[in-house]
Each structure stands twice: as structure tokens, then as C-alpha cells.
Amino acid sequence: MRSLFTRILLLAPGLCAVSGCGGVLDPQGPVGEAERIILLNASAIMLAIVIPTIIATLAVAWWFRASNTRAIYRPDWEYSGRIELIVWAIPMMVILLLGGITWIGSYHLDPPAPIASARKPIRIEVVSLDWKWLFIYPDYGVASVNRIVAPVGTPVSFRLTSATVMNSFFVPQLGTQIYTMHGMATRLHLQADNKGSFPGLSAQFSGDGFSGMRFSYDSVDQAAFETWLTQARVSGEVLDARNYKLLTGKSSYVPPYTYRAVRPGLFDAIVDDMAEPAPGHQTPPSSSHLKPLES
């Protein structure tokens, strides 16, 4: 009994990850909640085939066991129209129902579609790098690395691109994974309804430092957001062409930090391939906040 209890404790973290503790099954915003409903509905509909199939398989195996003399052996049996009708009709109805529910539920979750709210959305420009995330606040003139700070209950309008290979922006508790691609800007709208720090990651393998390409989405009250903006505007360096080139050096597990000002039009320059990234592992010794990978 004690050994069984110990095994359950050891399996608990894995079961928690599968069940969505702190993930897609623990939504903290309207988009994540809508996607969770679609996932649960789809699972319930598919169980309408899975469960009867499992029961029928066990029932047939039990009935036609060697010791059951009542089971009729029919070696020449080939076809039954009723069975064919059941076998094909049920899956077709399930597919139609599943497709209809998924389409109706996901139609309103189109990433570029704004979230209905009385509050004005905050604009954030996202750039995926090797192997970190750059978040630019064009309306406030500041930027941060590996950290998003936004007021709770306020929609966030993202524009996303990549300065390097393709990546995938994903905050599991807020929903909607979306790709970032070089030379292309995509759009995404998210919102956090509760205060907290929600982990974000890259869901697209992008090289050696992929495991360290993580960030946090910090949902705070308006006063804390204003305080963060004030601190960001008086600390850190200016994200000009020189510092952007230094930032593009390959580094992983980078602690969050901010830039007090951003060169105007930097995001559009990255999209238009006018901001040349630095080649190779060029991380300056003076930039202690960058952690280059060991060769």
C-alpha cells in the first residue's frame, strides 16, 4: 500500500501536466476559456465512438470465447446491411457534429479579431530572436525582453514577427498559439481576466537554445502597470540600432530586463528586413544580461 502511494506521488506531476494544471485546461482569459470549452466538447463527442467501440470489442471477445457453446460459428457470413449502416452512419454523424461545433466555436476566436471590451487595447509588438523574446510598447516608447506586463482585464493587441527562424508564440493559460515568421507580421488578441504571472514559451523548435526561450505574461492592476512603465522609462538602455544588433546575438535563459526608449519604427524595419541581425554568437562581454550558449 505504501509503495502504491509513493508511485502515485511520483506520477502526480505528470498527471497534473496532462490534465492542464496551469495550462490549457486552467484558462485565465476569455480566449483560453473558449478554447477549453471547444476541447472538452470535442473530447465528449469523440467518446461517443470510443466508449461503445471498447465495450463492443470486449463484448464480442467475451461472447465468442471458446467455452461459450451458445455462440454460433458462421464461417460463410460476409455482409449485413444493418451493420454497415450503423458502422458508417454513427461516425458520419459524429464528424458532422464535431465539425459544426468546432467551426462555430472557433469562428469567433480568429487571432486578428479584436476582443470586445470597454477598455482600449494595449498594443505590443513581438519579435522572436535566438533565443529570447522582445516586446515593444509603441504607445509608451519602452521595450522589454522575456516579460510582458499588462493591466488585468485589458485586451492586448499583438503584432508578431521573427528576426530569425520561425517560432511560435504561446501563453497556454491565455490561449491561441500563433507563429512568428521572418518578413511577415501576424496579429493576435489576448486578455487576462485574473491577476498573476502566466508562463509563455516558444512551441516551435528553433535550435540549441530552444528550451530557454521562455517569458512571462504578468497581469497586474493599473497602478502596478503604471509603476512598471515609470521604472522602465528611467532604467536600462535605449533600443537603437546598435543595441538591437547586440540583442540579436544568440543567447538563452535570458533574465527579463527593459529598455527605456525604442528607436521609432523598429518593428516595421524588422518586418521589412531593414534591421540587419547580428551573425553568430556575438554577445558583448559588457552585456551581463545576455547569457551566451557554451560552444
* pLDDT higher than threshold 90 for residue 229: yes
DSSP symbols for 14-57: HHHHHHTTTSTTS--SHHHHHHHHHHHHHHHHHHHHHHHHHHHH
112 lies in some domain = no
In the chain, helix, strand, coil percent, each to 5?
Answer: 35, 20, 40
| Residue 219: Cβ within 10 Å count | 27
* pLDDT higher than threshold 70 for residue 92: yes
Closest CA to 111 of 175, 67, 50: 175
Examine residue 131 and say whether the peptide bond preceding it is cis (omega within 30 degrees of 0).
yes
90 lies in some domain = yes
Same structural domain for residues 141 and 56?
no
214 lies in some domain = yes
CATH no. for residue 216? 2.60.40.420
Range of the domain at 261: 122-271
Assigned C-alpha cell, 204: 516551435
Same structural domain for residues 102 and 206?
no
Return the pLDDT at 22: 61
Return the pLDDT at 277: 56
Same structural domain for residues 135 and 211?
yes
8 lies in some domain = no
Please tell me the pTM assigned to this model: 0.77
* pLDDT higher than threshold 70 for residue 207: yes
For Cα atoms 289, 290, 294, give the angle at the middle one, nearest 5 degrees.
Answer: 135
Confidence class of residue 116 from pLDDT cuts 50, 70 and 90?
A: confident
- Tens of pLDDT, residues 34-52: 889 888 888 888 888 889 8
Backbone angles phi, psi at 258, to 5 degrees: -125, 160
Distance, CA of 172 to CA of 154 (rounded, Å): 18
